[in-house]
A = this chain, B = another copy of it.
Amino acid sequence: MTTELLPAVPTDLTGPLAELAGELPGAVDPGFAAHEVTDRSRVDAPQGVLAVVRPADVAGVQTVLRWASRHRVPVVPRGAGTGLSGGAIGVAGGIVLSTERLDRVLEIAPADQVARVEPGVLGADLDAALAPLGLRYAPDPASWRTSSIGGNVATNAGGLRCAKYGVTRESVLALDVVLADGSLISTGHRSIKGVTGLDLVGLFTGSEGTLGVVVGITVRLRPRPVDEQTVATWFDSVDAAAEGLLALTAGAARPAVIELLDGPTLADIDAHSGTSLAQGGGALLLVQTDGHGARAEADEVEAALRGAGGRPRRLHGEDAEFHWELRRSGRGPLEDKLAVGEDVAVPLSRIGEFHREITRIGAVHGVSVRAVAHAGDGNFHPLLFADDVAGGAERLEAAADEVVATALRLGGTISGEHGIGTAKQRWLADELTPQVRALQAGIKAVFDPLGLLNPGKAL
């Protein structure tokens, strides 16, 4: 946070921005760095962003939005900027509203199994507060150490554990939201259940900042499991691993996590982490069972995967944690490559076919492809990359188009958990009909009639 170093009211501001700086001393920063108005997608940094505004509290967020409505200034809400779809990227003539200073855990109520947090709280910070109480907030995007819970709500983020515990939506009970006109509403309930009126909590979750700015989040907590067991199973190929997955899901086991890493991913991890995962085979399924039956469930997983031709191995303690960390962040940087990181989902039965298809697509377009998948959800993250040479970007784009079209053709979706942002806009019409998009635009207009909130994103 750089605001401490700023003069309370920057002296070089004029017009509406000076007015806002006067209302919120220390919060308006026109001298931001480029990385503060982008995210982790490969979308280019925007030009013409007026300022990053970092209100310190809910009233400050309301002040910003009242000001924005008065002066018709677009507002891009932004959490920790770890998004991968360009949803938090600034727009010309607009401000980026950062929630980074709204970073308090407001309440942890173990007896109610709920916590209330401000949107800027990072997943890791909440987890640190919950661990001593034996509690857990289930959603665990791979970015959980660096992404904010407000951002997770904006994208309805998934993660590794959602095969068993669901995505962000399933852990959000209530939201406080500042609307485009600066008014503050509360929606949802502190009880675990509730069906009063239309489900606005669900509507805000995953809306990528287009309907309002979330300023308070009541989340459901769950007990930390008494035991976790990790089964690492190598297969000769992704096809064989996909068959293994079907053998597994045909049984009664219900693992918390089922991750698939293909051969090129294993080779990449080996190259950057000093491991030798690829020696084990052409694909790796990493499975975690948890709870009182973790051991028996892992036994069943091993038996199912062995029966399908896999070579399972039980991992323990630090060795298990090391492998999970490799999955989360063991891949190397792409350095001078052009790359597209995709996020699509397919029905569980189509995982093998989908991987065959993307391999074929890569070969056709002269693009390298490797993939990991939250296989229990059918959620694939193919990574496409090419040398930065003439025609590379075009080949990459053509391959990405085909990858996304393939997911749709197989009955899947163009975004499993990262959201649409700006990066996936060009495929939106392939999944949603004009009528469905018109309904979504109609809903947007109910909440934000001036169209100021994150314009051009998501919808």
Contacts and interface: CB of A to CB of B under 8 A. Distances in A.
Contact of A195 (B110, B250, B418): B418
Chain A binding surface, main DSSP class: loop
Which of A155, A162, A198, A224 has the largest number of chain B CB atoms within 10 A? Answer: A198
A363 interface: no
A181 to B, nearest CB: 10
Contacts of A377: 191-193
Contacts of A291: 252, 254, 291-293, 297
Contacts of A325: none
A190 B109 contact: no
Contacts of A211: 198
A12 to B, nearest CB: 38
A165 to B, nearest CB: 10
Given A111-B246, A293-B294, A203 B198 contact: yes
A371 interface: no
Contacts of A198: 203, 206-207, 211, 440, 443-444, 458-459
A216 B399 CA distance: 34
A45 interface: no
A298 B348 CA distance: 32
Contact of A205 (B199, B431, B432): B199
Contacts of A444: 198
B296 A193 contact: no
A380 to B, nearest CB: 10
A205 B169 CA distance: 14
Task: For chain A, give the interface size range.
Answer: 35 or more
Nearest to A162: B193
A195 B432 contact: no
A223 interface: yes
Nearest to A294: B293
Interface stretch (A88-96, A276-284, A390-398, A406-414): A406-414
B345 A192 contact: yes
Nearest to A432: B197
A414 B111 contact: no
A289 B223 CA distance: 15
B420 A197 contact: yes
Contact of A200 (B189, B192, B439): B439
Given A112-B347, A191-B346, A293-B296, A197 B459 contact: yes
Given A203-B202, A446-B446, A458 B293 contact: no
Contact of A167 (B193, B289, B300): B193
Closest 4 CB pairs of A and B: A293-B293, A292-B293, A202-B202, A442-B446
Given A197-B436, A200-B439, 6 more contacts: A112-B347, A167-B193, A194-B413, A194-B416, A197-B420, A226-B252
Interface of A: 109-114, 134, 155-156, 158, 162-163, 166-167, 169-170, 183, 185-187, 189-200, 202-203, 205-207, 211, 222-226, 246, 249-254, 289, 291-294, 296-297, 300, 345-349, 374, 376-379, 411-420, 428, 431-433, 435-437, 439-440, 442-447, 458-459
10 contacts: A111-B249, A156-B199, A166-B170, A192-B376, A193-B379, A195-B419, A196-B431, A196-B432, A292-B297, A439-B447
